[in-house]
Structure 1
Amino acid sequence: MTALPTPVPTPRTEPATDAPRRGRVPALLAAMFLVNVFGYAANNAAIAVLLPSQVRSAAGDGAVAALALVNGVSAIASFGIPPLVGLMSDRTRTRWGRRSPWILAGGVLTAAALVLTGAVSTVTGLVIGWFLVQATINIGLNIILATIPEGIPAKRHGLASTVQGVGIPVGGIIGVQLGAALVDSVMVAYALLGGLFLIASVISAVLIRERSNTAQDAPDLAREPMGRQFLAMFSSLRDRDYRWVFISRAVIYLGYNTVFGFSLYILQDHIVLPAGLAPASAVATAQTTSIVFLTIGTLISGPLVDRLGRHRGFVLISSLLLTFSIVLPLLSPSWTMFLVQAGLSGFALGAFLGVDLSLATIVLPKTGDAGRDLGVFHIALNAPQVVAPFVAALAVQHLGGYHALFIVGGVFAFLGSLTVLRVRPQQVTT
């Protein structure tokens, strides 16, 4: 899963299991920020630097296909865990509430999975390790979102979205810089990242301070069989407008991750780097540049669309700009052009996310199950980064090398930009 902002829709029929309490908002915002910063630090460090480096050492010339395998198998965890864990946490009854135990468990399990991934040196070991990381890290990253409609007043949900969104690029910068600095000591890197995420999870679980819900009456969840709820996990995608927003985000992210998920290999095999600049350090520089501009784009586009409206138009323009940025290296395989691509694509993606968050909130259907439905929407971010390596491997190995990679990524981003036009304009007026 690649480290990027997740929308915070407000379910309209969520049971009031833990009504917002005065003075609790700052603690919830701090918990959300910590989980996102150190969760995405671990994820970005591994995806951008550590995992590709391990796969290259283990598979040699077959690294492209091997990385696709490692990420592809983890797709099972990325697709299934968020809604499933969200559903289970909705039904959890403990003296510490229903969210805190899951956040704490996610921190412990993620730390263990990261250490395991750092200890293995074969493709098979990396497949197992990375699958476990994706399965466990999504617990905390998804569950923390459910605390927003439950613990933060509706009039401050915008602030919660901003805090969560800023935490993700901050974590991304920390992750890629730490990964590049410790690329020759991957075990140390994974252990450090796991320890930081565990500490963040423990602090966040304490900050949430949920009430005991062991005697809480939740008749709707208690009476409905678990199997039936499991089968209904993706029912929100039956709504036409929500489905097209989901598809648009997923396809645009697929185009983005098809190219940027292979940044290390692009810089090793295709881009001409200045003398003395190592590919791992170049990845860290490019990723940091991209994340800085992503943050700027997000902060600009969100308030602007609130002021002007026209959500579909903003999404279309920002995603077309992303399409253009993805294909820029076709003009020149130089380090300067790659940096320009990183900055422009980061700004475009940030502008898209800032607007798309608002669009998704508007069209989200009534569900009554915050953990489950936020987990489903989380898949639109997770799925592309695990599918993209297969697409990238196909492009590089069978369609013409890295030139084909940029073209394929651009085509997906362009198609994703067009799908937002399927959302009915009358459904997104503000």
Structure 2
Amino acid sequence: MTVYPATGSGTETAAAPAPLRRIAPLLTAMFLVNVFGYAANNAALTVLLPTQVRSAAGDDAVATLALVTSVSAIASFGIPPLVGLMSDRTRTRWGRRSPWILAGGVTTAAALVLTGAVSTVTGLVIGSFLIQATINIGLNIILATIPEGVPPRRHGLASTVQGVGIPVGGVIGVQLGAALAGSPMVAYALLGGLFLIASVISAILVRDRSSTALDDPRLERTPIGRQFMAMFSSLRDRDYRWVFVSRAVIYMGYYIVFGFGLYILQDYVELPAALTPTAAVATAQTTSIVFLTIGTLIAGPLVDRLGRHRGFVLISSLLLTSSIVLPLFSPSWTMFLVQAGLSGFALGAFLGVDLSLATLVLPKTGDAGRDLGVFHIALTAPQVIAPFAAALAVERLGGYPALFVVGGVFAFLGSLTVLRVRPQRVDK
């Protein structure tokens, strides 16, 4: 496998006509990678890591979980655009994307098994970092296949498939995590094995024609430092920057609350006597994911038919904002389930159009892998940074009520930022 350097101009580099392929195999690959990638990620962040941290840190679990997940933010920031940039310049007989999808599966499986084998805070910090570093390889690379293999008029469908993969994976992950919380090694090994299998199948399905033929005589050898500094150049584009900011801030509000779901159920919500917090978080997550799937399936096809991407994002994010603050009115199990369902539907509607909007405003630089890697940070970074903000809210600003307020504020601000994106026209 050869990795070629970036061009000096940064415009339409090694770009050849997008490979002709049926989109069904590509969408299947996208679905598989997202299902089993987010199954592993959701199980780790929602159930397994919090359980391991509680066992390792005891009463300091809230602050320790924030430390564990915040350190892994480094991987979420750096890995997606770096791997995307390298895949853009990869030349093999198997194409550009497939080798990286396969590599992501192998390394993620290893990182998950390692995390299941540790029991100290230091070990969990390292394990969480490696999970985020490796799992984001495949989850990011698969996004680059959308502008390369899917017509713009079907980007809503691609966004829906990608979005539905997240809740389906979430159900699998949270149920496996809850069922095997007492045996983390078994849970991590099973999740790693499933993701590896999905990655192998997806690498085969995505495989395009040999990318050794994509060499461009205009390629210039550019110092690696300049290539690295150019990784975030896509954010200079006004519309792409505001789509990125909107996604990041909305997800920040979401994960501030729902990343602490297990602790909220343990320390704040009044549960029925026969219901344990671990079983409760699995039920709530499943409820949320069912409604998330419904929202995604509705929004994606509608945005392909109607357009109005900004309007869909705005309405769904405002609905998410209102759902986040519901437990302020009653710390009951019933209210928590209502919150789970409403927030799931809102997030699903957001997922059904968010990626579609991003691919429409994607800068035409010939670096789709790199630029969508940057966009992927807007999803992954809040997921690992939010626990730090949540811990500050719980410990310094007034407990769990402050948590819901802070999360709601972030989601509301994110909903406003999408208005800065100019309306997009899609040719039918």
Q: TM-score surpassing 0.5?
A: yes
Q: 1:162, CA displacement in angstroms?
A: 2.6
Return the alpha-carbon distance in structure 2 between the equivalents of residues 213 and 313 of structure 1. Answer: 39
1:87-106 residue pairs with structure 2 within 5 A?
87-106=85-104
Return the alpha-carbon distance in structure 2 between the equivalents of residues 254 and 413 of structure 1. Answer: 7
Deviations 1:93-128 (A, max 9, x none): 223222221111111111110000001001110000
Matched, 1:167 2:165: yes
Q: Check conservation: 1:14, 1:368, Cα contact below 8 A.
A: yes
Q: Which runs of 5+ in 2 are unaligned?
A: 1-10
Return the alpha-carbon distance in structure 1 between the equivalents of residues 236 and 182 of structure 2. Answer: 47
Matched, 1:191 2:189: yes
Q: In terms of mean alpha carbon deviation, does 415-424 or 271-280 score higher?
A: 415-424
Q: 1:153, CA displacement in angstroms?
A: 4.8
Question: How many equivalent residue pairs?
Answer: 416
Letter in structure 1 aligned against 2:424: V
Q: 1:212, CA displacement in angstroms?
A: 2.9
Q: In terms of mean alpha carbon deviation, does 95-104 or 105-114 score higher?
A: 95-104
> Which of 372, 382, 385 is equivalent to 1:384?
382
2:56 is aligned to: 58
Alignment CA distance shift 1:369-1:115 (3 Å): same
Letter in structure 1 aligned against 2:329: L
Alignment CA distance shift 1:215-1:115 (3 Å): same
1:279 is aligned to: 277
Q: In terms of mean alpha carbon deviation, does 80-89 or 164-173 score higher?
A: 164-173
1:401 is aligned to: 399
Alignment CA distance shift 1:94-1:312 (3 Å): closer
Return the alpha-carbon distance in structure 1 between the equivalents of residues 291 and 79 of structure 2. Answer: 31
2:3 is aligned to: none
Alignment CA distance shift 1:429-1:91 (3 Å): closer
| Matched position secondary structure for 2:91 | coil
Return the alpha-carbon distance in structure 2 between the equivalents of residues 97 and 171 of structure 1. Answer: 27
| Matched position secondary structure for 2:96 | coil
Return the alpha-carbon distance in structure 2 between the equivalents of residues 307 and 19 of structure 1. Answer: 24
Alignment CA distance shift 1:178-1:293 (3 Å): same
Q: Check conservation: 2:104, 2:135, Cα contact below 8 A.
A: yes
| Matched position secondary structure for 1:271 | coil
Return the alpha-carbon distance in structure 2 between the equivalents of residues 302 and 208 of structure 1. Answer: 22
1:5 is aligned to: none
Alignment CA distance shift 1:42-1:88 (3 Å): same
Q: 1:14, CA displacement in angstroms?
A: 7.3
| Matched position secondary structure for 2:56 | helix
1:411 is aligned to: 409
Q: Check conservation: 1:91, 1:222, Cα contact below 8 A.
A: no
Return the alpha-carbon distance in structure 2 between the equivalents of residues 358 and 94 of structure 1. Answer: 29
Q: In terms of mean alpha carbon deviation, does 153-162 or 378-387 score higher?
A: 153-162
Q: Could you say what the CA RMSD is over the residues aligned between the two structures, in angstroms?
A: 2.0
- TM-score of the two chains, using structure 1 as the length reference: 0.91
1:363 is aligned to: 361
Q: 1:386, CA displacement in angstroms?
A: 1.4
1:20 is aligned to: 19
Q: Which runs of 4+ in 1 moved over 6 A?
A: none
Return the alpha-carbon distance in structure 1 between the equivalents of residues 157 and 333 of structure 2. Answer: 37
Return the alpha-carbon distance in structure 2 between the equivalents of residues 153 and 357 of structure 1. Answer: 14
1:211-250 residue pairs with structure 2 within 5 A?
211-214=209-212, 216-250=214-248
Matched, 1:145 2:135: no
Return the alpha-carbon distance in structure 2 between the equivalents of residues 300 and 410 of structure 1. Answer: 24
Q: 1:320, CA displacement in angstroms?
A: 1.6
Q: Check conservation: 1:113, 1:129, Cα contact below 8 A.
A: yes
1:334 is aligned to: 332
Percent identity between matched residues is 84
Letter in structure 2 aligned against 1:260: F
Letter in structure 2 aligned against 1:20: P
2:8 is aligned to: none
Q: Check conservation: 1:16, 1:150, Cα contact below 8 A.
A: no
Q: Check conservation: 2:13, 2:216, Cα contact below 8 A.
A: no
Return the alpha-carbon distance in structure 2 between the equivalents of residues 209 and 361 of structure 1. Answer: 21
Q: Check conservation: 1:145, 1:374, Cα contact below 8 A.
A: yes
Return the alpha-carbon distance in structure 2 between the equivalents of residues 152 and 316 of structure 1. Answer: 25
Return the alpha-carbon distance in structure 2 between the equivalents of residues 175 and 160 of structure 1. Answer: 22
Alignment CA distance shift 1:423-1:150 (3 Å): closer
Q: Check conservation: 2:155, 2:359, Cα contact below 8 A.
A: no
Return the alpha-carbon distance in structure 1 between the equivalents of residues 390 and 249 of structure 2. Answer: 14
Alignment CA distance shift 1:370-1:310 (3 Å): closer
Deviations 1:238-289 (A, max 9, x none): 1222212211111111111000000000001111111221111111111111
- TM-score of the two chains, using structure 2 as the length reference: 0.92
Letter in structure 2 aligned against 1:250: A
Q: 1:309, CA displacement in angstroms?
A: 4.3
1:428 is aligned to: 424
1:40 is aligned to: 38
